[in-house]
Structure 1
Amino acid sequence: MARHPLTLVAASLGARPFLESEALPGVRIPGQLIGIGENYWPDGPRPAAGRIPLVFGKFPGSLAGDGQPIVLDPVIAGTVVCEGELAVVVGRLLKDAHSPEEALKAIAGVTVANDVSARDLQAADIQSTRGKSLDTFCPLGPELVTLDELPELQSLSIVTRINGAVVQDSTTASMVFSVAELMMFCSRFMTLYPGDVILTGTPFAPDESVLELQPGDTVSVEVGGVGLLTNPVAARVPSDRMARV
């Protein structure tokens, strides 16, 4: 049990990028890429009576590695924001999990994510998938950290910075649904496979304007005990074929 680097396998034209880890030999990460919305309370955790997790899809082609640019096309995307998150990587087949212990045993490890989101596209579609699936809109990394390395999944700090300024500062204690609960919920309507990734939600931001990204920015997400994920932000240029959306 240890910390395992997540290595980006750069895509050639016509091939999708993916991450590799020695913790999951032969498995491409991400497989299915599952997002969770509205999973943090503004003033700390509250009972989730009557609620279920808000699930959306995020296409695997949105992957970016640590240090790789997040590429913006303002004509297509409009307003783009960062969302720092804890990401869970599935390590074994999981279907119909009925206990937290069963769900947690299926986790290969956790890593850091930035659920980059085009708000104008989300508003136009009245759902999230397209606005969260543009190329480079899902940075992940830099390491896969096994659960034995962490004292408690529900007490990890999450801090997001743009150009060094803190724009998100919270902890996983403020999740509405815990990591185990999210794993259980997802496993009941779909099979989770090794390499699948669940983004567990981003801390509440009362003023989203502080999360907006512009070309030239540097955005970093730090999850306590898990790692620091840093990505520059760049504008798409016509010759950059891999950044077209």
Structure 2
Amino acid sequence: MIEPLFVEYPDAEAMADSLAGHVALTLAEATEARDIAGMIVSGGSTPKALFQRLAKRKLDWEKICITLADDRWVDADHPASNEKLVHESLLVDYARKAPFISLKTPAKTAVEGAPDIQKRLMDFPWAADLVLLGMGEDGHTASLFPGAEALDAALSLEGPDLCLGLTPKILPKDAPFERMTLTLPALLDSARIILMLKGAGKRHVYDRAMAGTDIYEMPIRAILHQHEVPVEVHWAP
């Protein structure tokens, strides 16, 4: 196992400021080296300040393809949509030129929509230059939820799928929706993973995850305990 690099900040604003420079440099180096770069991002409130700072960076955004680690199976204009957050917070200002691959189709369910999303993701420039993840209080990351029916397939390193439709065993009250998630092999097909955490509660969950090995109990362990991709954990109280 490659021990994750742990970086602590005095507050969330300092974390967003530092990561904006860090991520921008990574993307600039990638676009200088190749015709197109790839970044996978996550939704939620934690990365919003980072997105807003990144959008104001003068990068070759037309060369930076962006997609999501997961999304709720709702329309792109729904308040719970991660795509909506990305369009409003990241794909603005200079970053409005970045190509974006949506994880939503008109299909009724995520399971039915997965084959079309799989085809779309073939156009993403694998391996990703950067994956930005979050973590839930139950130890999930992306939409790899403990106890989900399709979790075994989503965590299988031998599986052929880049994405899967998945429903959390216990639906969060604030987002009781089916999900589309990238699988573990897709997330690990990357040069670097950044885990962004905020608050004392998330620090406690992270410590628990590092202390155990059962990836089905806490799927974030499949990211933290692997030895293929460098992981950075950035935390602010």
User: Which bin holds the TM-score, normalised by the shorter protein?
Assistant: under 0.3
Normalized per residue, the structure richer in helix is 2
- Structure with the larger RCO, 1 or 2 (CA within 8 Å, 6+ apart): 1
Normalized per residue, the structure richer in strand is 1
TM-score scaled to structure 1, two decimals? 0.25
TM-score scaled to structure 2, two decimals? 0.26
